[in-house]
Chain A
Amino acid sequence: MARLKMLEEKDPSPAELGKHRGEWVAVYGGKIIAHGTNPEMVLGEATKKTAPRQAQPMIYRIPKRDLLLY
């Protein structure tokens, strides 16, 4: 796997992220390109979409509820 060219990934909008609380989201180009509760499946699906661009998505978890309640 080639080393990544460092680019800052933009976040999707707060409303867009808010639709996926409790899920892992894969983000590329400021858009959610895959999401779900199984991070390995989310990453696999997203990587297929970004592979033609030789890019890697960023994957992170969106909290399910107010952090203070965890």
Chain B
Amino acid sequence: MIDYTKLAWEGHSEKIPMLPVVLSWGARTLKTKMLLDTGAGVSFIQPWMARELRLDVDRSDRVAPGAGGDLRVQSSKVNIQPAVLDTKRRPARCRLMEFVLITADDDSLPFPMLGRHPFFNWYDVEIREKDDVFVLKERKG
């Protein structure tokens, strides 16, 4: 069970289902949080993250259609490990995300986003909006 990220200011509040993850490539690692986005077909990271991890980027320009309009993107691969422990206090498994899109600039999207492919094939995700938590259950096989 993972808490939503919560913030409060001047009588307002916001809560966001973001998953803590470790992204890695070779010996480089980056701990961050990614928005769980069931409306996104694939995952997105920002270009500064690709630079930090020294990802091998396919420089062909692509266009990813989205609710907010088309996004110019490039693609890469990255390892991803949810930065959470399971109920037996064991770390989650690290897996290769064979296709991740990198936005053209750091501000096209407010957050790195975890889309359905492949993450939601690896984990069943239960959103408990009223409780401000979500639950990840790793699928077998």
Tell me the A residues contacting B by CB distance below 8 Å: 1, 3-4, 6, 8-9, 11, 14-15, 17-19, 21, 39-40, 43, 56-64, 66-67, 70
Contacts and interface: CB of A to CB of B under 8 A. Distances in A.
Contact of A56 (B9, B27, B31): B31
What DSSP secondary structure best describes chain A's contact surface?
loop
A56 B111 contact: no
Interface string B57-100: 00000000000100000000000010111000001100000000
Given A11-B6, A60-B32, A61-B111, A6 B68 contact: no
B contact patch SS: strand
Contacts of B31: 4, 9, 56-59
A67 B16 contact: yes
